[in-house]
A and B are shown apart, each in its own frame.
Chain A
């Protein structure tokens, strides 16, 4: 499964467009993680608890998008993008989206 942020994939041609595909996840840290992040913010610097949270959310969103593209019969996702927002004080939403397509190698 190729996932690219470009419209075209070098060496491939788009044979069929399957349609838009999304992978959405809302995640939060627990009470302890939020307390640790709050303590860390007193001194400043990177808040590793939230870095980890968003990294996991990014992976989770891409995984869901790829699985959805697979279930649509696509073998690639083009024009992939991320979007994010907050829900409440401690929840983060990340959505990965793009266009599921079927690509085939260009015969030389």
Chain B
């Protein structure tokens, strides 16, 4: 919700900058610039840790480790590949007793 509000604010900033610039206000271009920067920041922000496992890094073993993901609120299980040493996180409710 907050993300959408911020995105809306950024779009309004861009529009205000454009309208003012078209209307002849030469000093309005920073509004457009900062608005575009904010739009890009909201849309392109990356924080989620994910990796692309190799195709041949199985078999996977369940470690028994569990935790609640604070982002989704789902209980996650942790799987381990003895071949590659990689770990993988799988929501329990969707993939219970299945290999990731």
- Residues of chain A having any CB pair with chain B under 8 Å: 1, 3, 27, 29-33, 35-36, 39-40, 48, 51-53, 55-57, 59-60, 62-63, 66-71
A-B contact pairs, 9 of them (CB 8 A): A3-B65, A29-B47, A30-B47, A39-B2, A59-B89, A63-B51, A67-B85, A68-B85, A70-B84
Query: Is B85 touching A32 in the complex (CB atoms < 8 A)?
Result: no
For the complex, give the distance between the alpha carbons of A62 and B80 in Å.
12
Q: Does B26 belong to the interface (CB within 8 Å)?
A: no
Contact B47–A53 (Cβ < 8 Å): yes
Contact of B41 among A32, A55, A66, A70 (CB under 8 A): A32
Complex contacts, B49 vs chain A, CB 8 Å: 27, 56-57, 59-60, 63
**B38, CB-defined interface residue at 8 Å:** yes
Residues of A close to B85: CB separation below 8 A: 1, 66-71
CB distance from A32 to the nearest CB of B (A): 4
Flag if B70 contacts A51 (CB, 8 Å).
Answer: yes
Q: Mark B21-65, 1 if CB is under 8 A from A, else 0.
A: 000000000000000011001101111110100000000000101
Would you call the interface of chain A mostly helix, strand, loop, or mixed?
A: helix
Residues of B within 8 A of A (CB): 2-3, 6, 37-38, 41-42, 44-49, 51, 63, 65, 69-71, 80, 82, 84-87, 89
CB distance from A9 to the nearest CB of B (A): 13
Tell me the complex Cα distance, A71–B89, Å: 20
A48 to B82, CA, bound (A): 33
The interface residues of chain A lying within 8 Å CB-to-CB of B51 are: 63
**Do the beta carbons of B71 and A55 come within 8 Å of each other?**
yes
- For B45, list chain A residues within 8 Å (CB): 29-33
Chain B residues near A66 (CB, 8 Å)?
80, 85, 87
